[in-house]
Amino acid sequence: MRSARVRTLALVVVAACIAVLVPAARAGAGASTASETEAGLVPADQWRARQDDYLHAVTASPVAPGSPTSLIAHAERAAREPGYDGGVAAAQPEDFAPVFAKLAAYEDTGDFDVNRLLTLLLRYRDRLSPALAAAIEERILAFKYWWTEPTPPGIVDSQYYWTENHQIIFLADEYVAGQAFADRTFTNSGMTGAEHVAHAAPRIRRWIEMRARFGFSEWLSNVYWMEDLQGVLLLAELADDAEIARQASMVLDMMFVELAAHLQQGSFGSTHGRSYMKDKLSGRDDDTFNLARMIFADTDVPYTGADTAVLVAVASRYRPPEVARRIAASTADEVVRQHQSLPLDPLAPVTAAPVAPYGLTFEGEDALMTWWAMGAQFPWQMAPTSAKAMQDFDLWQSSNFRQAAALEPIVAVASPAVLRLIARFLAVAVNPGLLSEVDTYTWRSDDVMLSAAQDWRPGQRSEQAHVWQATLDTEALVFTNHPRSGVPSKADPEAREGYWTGEASLPRVAQEGRTLVAVYAPQYPSLPLGGSGYGFGYEAYTHAFFPTERFDEVVERNGWVVGRRGDGYVALWSWRPATWRTYDADTEFTSGLTGRFDLVARGGADNVWITEVGRSADFPAAADPFAAFVDAVTAVRPDVRPFAGRAPCPAVFSAPGGFCFHWPWDGFSVRYRSPAEGEVSFGFTPRLGSRPFVVDGTEADLHPDPLRRWDGTFTRADWDAGTYGASADGWSLHLDFAAGVRDTSGP
């Protein structure tokens, strides 16, 4: 079946160098009109059935009294199913002690907790014990909703307010809490609820405007997609303001179409602007899995438990557009291209008065919302504003800035010009979290999907970017990266998750159809600085995740590793000889895998990896289509040539024994005959000029002009227009954010 288809290092280094109504019960409050929404939405009975399917799965286990998500799921089932109790009323304030302690300590992700607490309290207060309801209300009134609010004496605020997902969650929390307690005084801010609504509303509109114009800088993230959803869904469900509720629903529509267009047999298997080890090694583990399964019924793999998908399962106002389900279910071959985020080049020449694109600004709160949202704390264009924010809001003692606190005096006295120069000098190494504009390309078929971020920040330091992946289903997936750290331990895998998350240099990647070339050539030296091995250091090899036990067949021939899963195929080749790493399962993290899964190309951090995908339908005349694919791919060895003339190793980058950090790496030229796409040539040669990507005699356009926000078989949106269109099987969606139009239709 075709499934319906920390920032800490950058900050440290730069600083061093320089009685409540239940809104949901008010029928239709704030909702779009029926004429705008009903015709092309998922039919109400089918939507209810999909919600119930998930709710029954996650409520098969007893309620977890300290989990807001579990309580929400059981409370909703009790509301829908006469005779079902669920035990929600038994939960008491002491069950919530860990959540309440986290909020009291102002720890990061408190906004996520408050989001769920608001849904629990405002929709299910009559099912909670009075003591628990009162305790939740107290915490909502005491919460710090924006970085400009005061922090209680003796508390270090380590909440992170600025990334794209945190912004909308904090603002949605503030808006809905203020609306629910309009006449009450919030104890942290001293503001009334009505004043909080007035503070949040224009910032919510600004956040939505930026997503409508420029999309998500955390593009196609299998982690932060769900966090964005928490914020906009809270507004779509509970905002009294009809315009805000409708605009939030439109953002959700946009998100669901993008998710649908990048699903492969239950897995959100695209390139991701941000991802983690915990989400990358299996499609079942990524944060979108349960939600995608609930909505798109895209796989028979069981649900994995109660998570943020519960918030969609209990939604009473919002329903997705049916066209998203039709796109996910398509079995046609298609190419999906997207452009997202904003241009910002930390390597550009420094000027005294940088001009922001698209009429934006590099100064003030609007600049923080715009650029910090995309991890742009310390490109030189933002360095003065970032330094001022650290001073003004006393960020030095927070968990995100604490390591640089001793250097606060340097930043306090440095002029804007000096800050810009320092930030430019260190630009390659100290902007790992920068999520600047990106062109994504995905080739999608019934049996396999290949997806990449085209030519995105090659050679520069990464943080959580996942630039390419081949996906056959939730378990059979392949990708490469350049690791910052060595193999994680079984006892504490997250301490060294940089091995699988990457967090070192980004390759120059190019994809056309079923062929992808990734050229690694780091453009900064490996210099371990900072505690616990965290710094500019990286491993002197690249490696691939290729879990052989999850494939039906695996063949190794002529330097290629070729796998089959069902009728889908993937082949991977490394210029540097690659061997399987042997793991000690008693001490090293294996994610439960027992077979070969980690293909390591030792000998240097520079390398070329080539990927080819295919399927049995490509070889209709072959008695054994997979054998025919293996023969076709392995018949010709790719021609990879390192660029000669590397400059002598600078003394500062040499080590005892003659070892050289070899920086900058000079890169490679590549020629390869793809059985699917024809003759391919490419290269990444920073000192000599990067080579174009030529496929079958034609230069591929890695960065299409004119820009399209969406450009695919089923989707189309012009750049910076705020209008979106999608159509499939007679179902359609039209969004116009400026006009506030949400129009769906069906046959």
567 close to 613: Cβ distance less than 8 angstroms? no
679 close to 671: Cβ distance less than 8 angstroms? yes
120 close to 128: Cβ distance less than 8 angstroms? yes
Q: DSSP readout, 633-697? A: HHTS--EEEEPS-PPPPPGGGB-GGG-B---S---EEEEEEETTTEEEEEEE-TTT-PEEEEETT
What residue type is assigned to position 581 of the chain? Answer: R
278 close to 471: Cβ distance less than 8 angstroms? no
Q: What are phi and psi of 578, to 5 degrees?
A: -115, 140
Neighbours of 185 (CB within 10 A): 12
Predicted confidence at residue 664, as pLDDT, reads 59
Distance in angstroms (rounded) separating the CA atoms of residues 321 and 731:
9
How many angstroms from the chain centroid is the CA of residue 89?
36
**In the chain, which stretches have pLDDT less than 70?**
1-37, 402-407, 528-535, 644-664, 687-688
Distance in angstroms (rounded) separating the CA atoms of residues 306 and 501:
25
**Nearest to 707, CA basis, from 716, 697, 699, 698:** 716
Predicted confidence at residue 403, as pLDDT, reads 62
The pLDDT tens digits for 72-83 are 999 999 999 999
Predicted confidence at residue 529, as pLDDT, reads 55
**Nearest to 144, CA basis, from 85, 198, 92, 189:** 189
Predicted confidence at residue 687, as pLDDT, reads 67
DSSP 32: P
CA 588, 593, 594, 598 dihedral sign is: negative
Contacts with 480 (C-beta within 8 Å, 6 or more apart), sequence order: 468, 507, 518, 542, 543, 544, 545, 572, 609
Predicted confidence at residue 657, as pLDDT, reads 44
The pLDDT tens digits for 200-241 are 999 999 999 999 999 999 999 999 999 999 999 999 999 999
Q: Which residue has the tokens 């399964």?
A: 293
* Buried/exposed 672-699: b ≥16 CB within 10 Å, e otherwise: bbbbbbbebbbbbbbeeebbebbbeeee
* Cα angle 354-504-388, degrees, rounded to a multiple of 5: 35
Predicted confidence at residue 227, as pLDDT, reads 97
Q: Where are the domains of the chain?
A: 447-704
